[in-house]
Amino acid sequence: MSNWVRAHTNIALIKYWGKADEDLILPMNNSLSLTLDAFYTETSVTFDDALRSDELYLDDRMQDLAALKKVKTVLDLVREKAGITSKAKVMSYNHVPTAAGLASSASGLAALAGAASLAAGLELSSEELSKLARRGSGSASRSIYGGFAEWQKGTSHETSFAVPVDDADWDIGMLFIVVSDNKKDVSSREGMSRTVQTSPFYQGWLDSLDDDLSAMKLAIKEQDIHEVGVIAERNALKMHATTLGADPPFTYWSPDSMKAMEAVRALRDKGYSVHFTMDAGPNVKLICRQTQLEEIRTHLLNDFSESQLISARPGPGLHVVSRPGSQ
């Protein structure tokens, strides 16, 4: 029987935006995220000498070579480490809309790193799994852990990995406002590259990151939901500002993204400690008290449909499940 590995998405509160090394996926800056329970990927890998090439099935549909590219990078590293040459069949079920700014690549590549290692008989530490997942997708390095995790940028494959920061076992939650689950016009990879190379605002973003990161770690340590939200919102807005300075300029915001941001500000005026963050996509994530998630959700039903609002709580790290969908 195949072993399935489940990894949950993480949402960065201090953003990763820009690579120092495209091949190794080394970031320009440290980032910090919260792993969530609402979205996840389940993956199983089978190495089989009878296969002539690697195969990837996502939600029971065979994927093309483009989708296989990131997967093959991780599989090749596992094969090298395990001393095997067999091709692999990868089965993956995504409980996250793909490429819509909801961190599907984070959960997908973290689950793959875990499942491929398991199938190859490797017993890797969390640090080694984080490095392996990073080679598929940078943000996947953080999905190895539950709660808050920091991806340390490092300067080489060996020094760039995520570490746990806090188990998030306190009154913090997130509410997703899904304004679109369509594929993005500008991929994260393309967006980062264009911004780093052409935006005059990018250096300002980098220069402010250490202060944001230090302040965020202190706010987490003190379990200060207001400060966590303030810092995350500020950090996200600075990141998105860099894209407007790129050549050609672009934005991930849609009219509904703006509507969601205004709804958050209206909730603050009502006295709620709620702030937003956004990744490379139009969807808006609200940082708030777990104990107020349902109240806030009820208020937002005035502007958004029930299906657009998804409540999330801190989620677990990478773990094995007996079959897809099992607890």
The candidate with the shortest Cα–Cα distance to 27, out of 206, 182, 292, 218, is 206
Look up the CATH number of the domain holding residue 35. 3.30.230.10
Residue 250's domain is classified under what CATH number?
Answer: 3.30.70.890
Global confidence as pTM? 0.95
Cis preceding-peptide flag for 249 (omega within 30 of 0):
no
Instruction: Look at residue 100 in the predicted model and tell me its pLDDT.
Output: 46
Residues 194, 294 share a domain: yes
Three-point CA angle 255, 138, 6, nearest 5°: 90
Q: Which residues contact 70 (CB under 8 A, 6 or more apart)?
A: 105, 109, 136, 137
Give the C-alpha separation, 228 to 213, whole Å. Answer: 10
Residue 39 belongs to what domain range? 4-169
- The answer to whether residues 139 and 216 belong to one domain is no
* Total domains present in the chain: 2
Asked whether residue 324 is assigned to any structural domain, the reply reads no
Give the pLDDT of the chain (327 residues) as one tens digit per residue. Answer: 468 999 999 999 999 999 999 999 999 999 999 999 999 999 999 999 999 999 999 999 999 988 899 999 999 999 999 999 999 999 999 987 554 456 588 999 999 999 999 999 999 999 999 999 999 999 999 999 999 999 999 999 999 999 999 999 999 999 999 998 777 889 888 999 999 999 999 999 999 999 999 999 999 999 999 999 999 999 999 999 999 999 999 999 999 999 999 999 999 999 999 999 999 999 999 999 999 999 999 999 999 999 899 999 999 999 999 888 766
- Which two three-digit tokens encode residue 13? 């509160």
Same domain assignment for residues 159 and 187: no
- The DSSP string of 240-275 is HHHHHTSSS------HHHHHHHHHHHHHHHTT---E
Q: What is the pLDDT of residues 274-288, one digit of tens each?
A: 999 999 999 999 999
171-193 pLDDT, tens digit per residue, is: 999 999 999 877 788 988 899 99
Q: What share of the chain is helix, strand, coil (3-state, %, to 5)?
A: 40, 25, 35
233 found inside a domain: yes
